[in-house]
Structure 1
């Protein structure tokens, strides 16, 4: 949900609470529990999971490896569930022409830096920069070039904008802030 008026532009940023993260965390939890149960059933000599007879899986080395993968998967799954619960990366971008201030707020991990807030004046913005991140999946990233601070990214790297959508967003924001556009 975004909101815009003549003087204020607010963009809400979704964090870790995305459907794909829920799916991966759930799949990883179920898979790691399966590995752990197979490892435990090979250790105990009983069938805790009816799909695999425990006598076919020897505890050393297959059962130990299965248990290790199960425990490692549980740690990774718990990390994903914690980031989803805390909604890491969520926040907002606020551009206020009335006060001449830009605020970028994000939620981080618990601790003294849980709340990440960047504030700077609109008059300190030199330009808006689009940079294409190369790799397997080329994606555009939008930066604010701030005098004395360098570039500040304002789009998430996992947002799936088409180049046309990114150009439109960049042009609208540059017009709103009254700054030029740079392309790298």
Structure 2
């Protein structure tokens, strides 16, 4: 009996998301401090002289941008904290099941299907402006079920190795290579 394969899937906790959330947070706080400096007539920022800005319309618009950026950064930090999209793929031939779990905003999304429903393991590679490299299960009578994370493309060698290993484990063909 083969041991089950448990593949972790990276969600939103990746370096690029941390950097974007940090930059949006810093920018939002900067806009809010600029707006407050304009309103109170005091420089709250060490750079420039935002107190010299006229409150209406410049300071007010800066405040609106600041509020928007802080709200956006709050959303980004919440997505990172929850780790939306993270989860695992569990392939168990002993129990004849495939379980795919992902974290959503409010709940864990779990999808279980029998191994016999899998027709093939599909490797999809599309290069260009918007590259896509993904591994998916081709199911009988249903849509393909993606197995890899969204976002950063996986190295071709890793994608092919993972696809071949999974196809061997499930005794199905590997498509798209």
**TM-score after normalising by structure 2:** 0.91
**Corresponding residue number in structure 2 for 1:41:** 37
Distance apart, 1:128 and its partner CA: 1.1
Does residue 181 (structure 1) correspond to residue 166 (structure 2)? The answer is no
CA distance in 1, matches of 2:109, 2:26: 34
Q: Is the 8 A contact 1:22 1:84 kept in 2?
A: yes
**Corresponding residue number in structure 1 for 2:155:** 162
Does residue 86 (structure 1) correspond to residue 82 (structure 2)? The answer is yes
Moved beyond 3 Å, runs of 4+: none
Q: Is the 8 A contact 1:38 1:52 kept in 2?
A: no
**Corresponding residue number in structure 1 for 2:129:** 136
CA distance in 2, matches of 1:85, 1:168: 31
Distance apart, 1:106 and its partner CA: 0.8
Q: Deviations over 1:78-136 (max 9, x none)?
A: 001111111211111000011110000011011xxx11111111111011112224552
Q: Is the 8 A contact 1:89 1:108 kept in 2?
A: yes
Question: Mind listing any 5+ residue stretches in structure 1 that lack a counterpart?
Answer: none
**Corresponding residue number in structure 2 for 1:7:** 3
Distance apart, 1:157 and its partner CA: 2.2
Q: Is the 8 A contact 2:34 2:51 kept in 1?
A: no
Distance apart, 1:35 and its partner CA: 0.7
Secondary structure of the corresponding residue to residue 150 of structure 1 = coil
Secondary structure of the corresponding residue to residue 98 of structure 2 = strand
Does residue 26 (structure 1) correspond to residue 25 (structure 2)? The answer is no
Q: Residue 55 and residue 30 in structure 1: after superposition, are their counterparts in 2 closer, same or farther (change >3 A)?
A: closer
**How many residues are treated as equivalent by the alignment?**
177
2:94 to 90, 93, 98: 98
Does residue 121 (structure 1) correspond to residue 114 (structure 2)? The answer is yes
**Corresponding residue number in structure 2 for 1:146:** 139
Q: Deviations over 1:115-169 (max 9, x none)?
A: 1111111111011112224552423111101112210000012243222221111
Q: Which has the higher contact order (CA 8 A, sep 6+)?
A: 2
Q: Deviations over 1:3-54 (max 9, x none)?
A: xx92310011222222332222222111110111101211222212132223
> RMSD value over aligned CA atoms?
1.8
CA distance in 2, matches of 1:87, 1:138: 23
